[in-house]
Structure 1
Amino acid sequence: MFAISLGDDGAQLRPLEPWQAEEYLAHMDRGREFIGQYIPLAALAVDVDSARAFLQSYADKQAADAGRIYGIWLDGKLVGGVLFRVFDAVRESCEVGCWLEPSAAGRGLVTRAARVLIDWAVEERGMHRIEWVASSGNTASIKVAERLGMTRDGVLRESYPYRGKRHDSEIWSVLASEWRAARSAQTR
């Protein structure tokens, strides 16, 4: 297994795999309400079996080259994650997503982790378009898209029902050429 440092604060990005179901469930239990404000991720892991099944679904996606999931560890404790919810190598398009428990919010962990994923998608896999989808009410997620240099493509009004209410989805994206130009400007 590998770990990628996300900075001087001890944060690491690592693959999140089915054998880690108990740790993943404990993490979801710590952040269930916070994580579940805008996305149903926490509801998919209510016991060890469902946590393992969810992680296995991403192991299967990775084997099919259709998605991947990574955890963010801070001081050895799983506190969040990032994923390729959709990964389409043929269309050269993918969607990056995230989640975080409240104890880790406000540290830039998701932004740093998403940069690693986008760099890999663009430079190693030749992705042309990377998307970020967020509920219009999820200002923290929208701020991450902005920090990543993404452009707001539009809003899908009342596009998904969640917790008895229909939510708008904002679609953000960055193209490979834009990503490379921004990364090049940062190293000058």
Structure 2
Amino acid sequence: MFVHKIDEELSLKMIDHRDAEELFELSDQSRDHIRTWLPWINFTNEVEDTRNYIKFSLKRYAENDGLTICVLFHGKIAGVVDFHEIDDKNKVTSIGYWMGAEYKGRGLLTRACRFLFSYAFDELGMNRIEIRAATENVKSRGVPERLGFRQEGIIRQAAKLYDEYTDHVVYGMLKSEWNKASS
């Protein structure tokens, strides 16, 4: 298993089948926290559901259409960052992420994303990264805002969250902007 160490407490690794139990346990313990913005938790009721998610993630990776990364805090899975909808022709991708309840508010996701965005631009050759978050999801919106992403607009009623539609804020970063900000 390849692990990339960011610093003394934070590492990243690509998801694999061996993560199923630990990842399920983290999501199960964080169920109330996750449920606020991510309804997939309602369909994750046993380890087998997490195994199916990992299988799907690895299939997307094999098809060059996704990359799911586990964020490790002192060696334990603390959350997930997921590059999805990788458009290699146009060099565009979007990401989603979540952290376990006990790990939120420590800046782990921002630090992990800073590395992963550089990786996407420099190694994967992406030209644009997009992040969408519900307008009311202040914590999730904080990541792109802290990393200098540009708010590009609001998509009205972008997603159905339980019985209501939520508006999404769209953030974007271009490779040229990232390189300029990083130098």
TM-score bucket (shorter structure): over 0.9
Residue 178 of structure 2 corresponds to: 179
* Structure 2, unaligned runs of 5 or more: none
Structure 2 residue 139 is the aligned partner of structure 1 residue 150 = no
Alignment size in residue pairs: 183
Residue 28 of structure 1 corresponds to: 27
SS at match of 1:19: helix
Residue 126 of structure 1 corresponds to: 125
Deviation string for 1:65-118 (max 9, x for gaps)? 000111112122211111102211111000121100121111111111111221
Residue 2 of structure 1 corresponds to: 2
SS at match of 2:89: coil
1:11, 1:109 within 8 Å by CA — same for their partners in 2?
yes
- Give the counterpart letter for 1:6 in structure 2: I
- Give the counterpart letter for 2:5 in structure 1: S
Please give the alpha-carbon distance, in whole angstroms, between the structure 2 residues aligned to 1:44 and 1:73: 24
Structure 2 residue 107 is the aligned partner of structure 1 residue 108 = yes
Residue 14 of structure 2 corresponds to: 15
| Distance apart, 1:19 and its partner CA | 2.8
Please give the alpha-carbon distance, in whole angstroms, between the structure 1 residues aligned to 2:114 and 2:10: 14
Please give the alpha-carbon distance, in whole angstroms, between the structure 2 residues aligned to 1:78 and 1:95: 22
SS at match of 1:97: strand
Residue 159 of structure 2 corresponds to: 160
SS at match of 1:126: coil
Deviation string for 1:113-162 (max 9, x for gaps)? 11122111110121111001101111011111111110011101112111
Please give the alpha-carbon distance, in whole angstroms, between the structure 1 residues aligned to 2:18 and 2:51: 7
* Structure 1, unaligned runs of 5 or more: none
Cα-Cα RMSD:
1.2
| Distance apart, 1:44 and its partner CA | 4.0
| Distance apart, 1:48 and its partner CA | 1.5
Please give the alpha-carbon distance, in whole angstroms, between the structure 1 residues aligned to 2:13 and 2:43: 21
TM-score by length of 2: 0.95
Please give the alpha-carbon distance, in whole angstroms, between the structure 2 residues aligned to 1:4 and 1:102: 23
1:128, 1:175 within 8 Å by CA — same for their partners in 2?
yes
Please give the alpha-carbon distance, in whole angstroms, between the structure 2 residues aligned to 1:128 and 1:43: 34
Residue 50 of structure 2 corresponds to: 51
- Give the counterpart letter for 1:153 in structure 2: E
1:6, 1:109 within 8 Å by CA — same for their partners in 2?
no
| Distance apart, 1:22 and its partner CA | 1.0
| Distance apart, 1:18 and its partner CA | 2.4
